[in-house]
Every structure is written in C-alpha cells, then in structure tokens.
C-alpha cells in the first residue's frame, strides 16, 4: 500500500507523461495532415482512412500484449522502446513518398503508441495511492491533449511553412532522443531503483492466456472495456482522420479555420479531464451516472449533426464538438474500474484489456466511414451513420455490464469482502445467480 506520493513520484510521472504527449502528437498528426497526405501519396478517401485503420488497429491489437509486457518487464523499459519506435515511424513518414511506405510508417507509429499509455498508468498505480489514481490519470490525459493541440494549428502552420519532410523528420528525431531521458529518470517502483528491480520470471503462453482471461472475467474489467469502447471512439474518429475532411469538404470551412475548430476537442478534454478525475476520486459512486449522461448527450449531438438542414453553422458545430470532446475524459473511468477491481500485479494487463475497447471501436468506425464515403459519393451524413451504430452497440453493452458489475459487488459484500465502491440495491439490478453464471 502506497502511503503518500513524493516529489520523486511526481518527477517520474511527469517524465513518463511527456512520452504520452509525444505519442498523442504522432497519433493525431494525420488529423490535419490527412489532406496533405492524400495529395502526397495520391490516394482517395478509403485509402486515406486506411492510414488510421492500420495505425489504430495495430494500437488496439497491442494493448493486451503491452499490459503483459509492462507487468513483466516494467514500464521504464517499455516506455524507452515506445519512444524509439515512435521516432523511427515518424522519420519514415517524413521520407516516404509511396503509399506502401507511408502505411508501414504509420504502422510503426501505432506500435510505439500502443506501448505508452498502459505503461504510464502502471507507473501511476505503483507511485501514487489509490485515492489519487483517477486524478493523476486525468492529469496524464492533459499531457495527451497538449500533444493533440500541437498536432492542430501549430502542425498546420509547420506543414505550410517548412513543409512535410522537415516537420516530421525533426519530430521523429526529438522523440528518439527523449528515450535517453526516460531511461535515466524513470523508476518502476518507489522501493526499487532500475538497477535493483528483481528479474521477472519467465512466463509461458498458457500463463499469459490465463492472466488475460482472469482479468477479462472480472465484471469491472468488462465494464471498463465497454465504457472505453462507447465514450472515446467518436472524438478519436474526428480528430485522427475524418474531422478535417468533414469540415473542409462537407461544410465548406477553410482549412485554417477547420484546424482551429478541431482544437475544441483539445481544450474541452483538457478542462474536462481533471474535472472528471477529481469528481470520481471524491465521489466514485458518480462514475457510471457520468458515463450514462455522456452517452445520452452524444446520442442527441449526433442526431442534431446528421439531421441539420444544409451546412451546419460554426455556432452549432462548436458546442457539439465541445460536448463530444468529453468522451476522452469519460473513457478514463474505464481505467479507474480496472484499477479498482484487479490486484496491482494484474493492473497492467487489465488496463490493456480496457484500452482495447475504444481503439477497436475507432478502427471499425473509421474504416466504415471511409467505405461509406466511397460508396455514397462523399456523403458524410450517410458515412457518419457508422458512428451512430457504434454508439448504440457500446451503450447497450455498457448497460449490460454495469448491471452485472453491480451484482458482482453484492455477491462480494455478501461474502464479507471489502468492495471499492459501496452501492445500494436498485429494482433493475441483476440477481447474483445471473452474474455467477455469466462469469
């Protein structure tokens, strides 16, 4: 049990959080560079969407392996490797002129990106007491939003000034060099230095599968997965690839104004992240009502955007984007659930499982939008029906596993076990026998 975070804990966290800032910058760079990439690689909407599908698909596929690697080797080594892959990938982006090499480069970036967030959260779990976990996690996401901010207007100006190759080449080199800083300043736990960390035991495939399955069987982990799935995919889809084309091509917004409008996602998340983190730390019982409120609001926002006659004015787009930007902070509730319902030695794995959710949803939705755009001759109203379908699926599964997670808590209380959040039984709660059978 960690008693109190020290100054050293905050130093280690800030060093690691900067890695997440760089990762999000690289991840979201095609949000404003997408149209330039289409010209550079001579591709259309479906092929442009493939860049994001590949990158995010690699990210999603690597989340569970990343959790296992972090639990075994420690976050310092994994973060160092992440920076090297991110740097290499962005250098390849800078030099690529063919579509095939561009895809490989974005795949490498996706691999490096996949290693970052789970590693940082594992450091937070090791260096901070449980009551501070949600707050520090939300502060970590602020670093990510700063990286996202750098990938909007500043990146647009750089691409219009020095150009594609110098901009991405410098970004890749800076990222690779920062690996040396992480190797020196980050420690895996408060009690051990990097030189005294005990050697992790060898783990075979069967043990790994059992560890993942154990984490997945926990109703709180499963609920966290679907919370992450339902809340974060829409902001991701808009900021990673389809926001800029939607604004420029469908709404007639100039590129500079469109990139500025996308910063609404950044500022909304920057303010919303600490607010959500602080709230659920003080009132953890509010976690699921906040998720439910966001999902209901998101359904109303997409109904408005898809039914609005003619072009949507900025006065409507801005508040709609501001509300959708809260999906990022809301998705952090999924990680708090993973932290609460799993022992420390399995937190990395459980966090990886949860993190798969939003990026699977992002991958599928981004691909579906590209295909529907191509089939519907560029009609974004038809293409964005993919967002509505994903939101409906995610909302339904959140409701299912919210009820089952509540029932699991009642079972634990009946056995005399301590539970993370005390709740009162409601008329809609699932009988304990159903939960036991589902597990």
CATH code for position 362: 1.20.1250.20
CA 356 to each of CA 156, 216, 314: distance values in angstroms, whole numbers, following the listed order: 30, 12, 33
Residue segments in the chain with a per-residue pLDDT below the cut of 50: 1, 193-201, 433, 437, 439
User: Do the domain assignments include residue 195?
Assistant: no
In a domain, 201, yes or no: no
* Per-residue pLDDT, 437: 47
Identify whether 199 is part of a domain: no
Give the pLDDT of residue 100: 92
pLDDT attached to residue 255: 82
pLDDT at 431: 64
Give the pLDDT of residue 333: 92
Nearest residue to 205 via CA among 67, 371, 62, 68? 68
Q: What is the pLDDT of residue 67?
A: 80
Length of the chain: 439
In a domain, 329, yes or no: yes
pLDDT value for 418:
64
Does the residue 178 lie in any domain?
yes
Report the domain count for the chain.
Answer: 1
> Is residue 1 assigned to a domain?
no
What angle, rounded to 10 degrees, do the helices at 45-73 and 30-41 form?
Answer: 130
pLDDT at 421: 67
The model carries a pTM of: 0.75
Does 193 fall in a domain? no
Q: Is residue 246 part of a domain?
A: yes
Residue 155 in tokens: 């990146």
Range of the domain at 217: 7-188+206-438
- pLDDT tens digit string along 225-275? 999 999 999 998 998 778 888 998 889 988 888 888 888 888 888 888 888
């Amino acid at each position: 049990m960690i008693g109190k975070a020290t100054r050293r804990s905050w130093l280690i966290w800030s060093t690691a959080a900067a890695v997440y800032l760089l990762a999000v910058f690289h991840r979201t760079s095609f949000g404003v560079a997408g149209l330039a990439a289409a010209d550079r690689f001579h591709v259309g909407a479906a092929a442009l969407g493939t860049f994001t599908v590949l990158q995010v698909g690699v990210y999603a596929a690597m989340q569970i392996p990343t959790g296992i690697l972090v639990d075994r080797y420690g976050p310092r080594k994994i973060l160092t490797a992440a920076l090297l892959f991110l740097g290499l990938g962005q250098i390849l982006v800078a030099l690529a002129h063919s579509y095939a090499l561009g895809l490989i480069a974005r795949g490498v970036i996706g691999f490096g990106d996949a290693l970052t967030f789970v590693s940082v959260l594992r450091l937070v779990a090791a260096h901070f007491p449980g009551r501070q976990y949600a707050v520090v996690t939300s502060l970590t996401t602020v670093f990510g939003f700063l990286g996202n901010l750098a990938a909007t207007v500043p990146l647009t100006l750089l691409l219009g000034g020095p150009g594609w190759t110098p901009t991405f080449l410098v970004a890749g080199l800076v990222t690779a060099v920062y690996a040396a800083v992480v190797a020196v300043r980050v420690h895996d736990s408060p009690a051990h230095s990097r030189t005294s960390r005990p050697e992790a035991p060898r783990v075979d495939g069967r043990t790994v599968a059992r560890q993942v399955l154990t984490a997945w069987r926990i109703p709180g982990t499963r609920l966290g997965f679907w919370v992450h799935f339902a809340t974060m995919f829409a902001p991701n889809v808009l900021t990673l690839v389809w926001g800029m084309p939607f604004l420029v091509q469908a709404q007639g917004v100039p590129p500079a104004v469109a990139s500025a409008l996308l910063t609404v996602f950044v500022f909304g998340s920057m303010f919303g992240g600490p607010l959500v983190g602080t709230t659920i730390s003080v009132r953890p019982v509010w976690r699921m009502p906040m998720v439910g409120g966001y999902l209901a609001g998101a359904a109303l926002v997409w109904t408005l955007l898809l039914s609005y006659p003619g072009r949507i004015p900025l006065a409507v787009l801005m508040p709609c984007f501001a509300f959708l930007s809260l999906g990022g902070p809301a998705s952090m509730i999924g990680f708090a659930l993973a932290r609460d319902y799993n022992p420390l030695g399995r937190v990395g794995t459980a966090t990886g499982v949860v993190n798969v959710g939003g990026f699977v949803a992002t991958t599928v939705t981004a691909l579906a939008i590209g295909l529907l755009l191509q089939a519907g001759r560029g009609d974004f109203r038809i293409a964005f029906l993919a967002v509505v379908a994903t939101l409906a699926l995610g909302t339904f599964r959140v409701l299912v596993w919210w009820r089952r997670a509540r029932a699991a808590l009642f079972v634990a209380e009946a056995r005399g076990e301590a539970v993370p959040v005390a709740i009162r039984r409601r008329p809609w709660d699932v009988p304990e026998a159903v939960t036991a059978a589902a597990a």
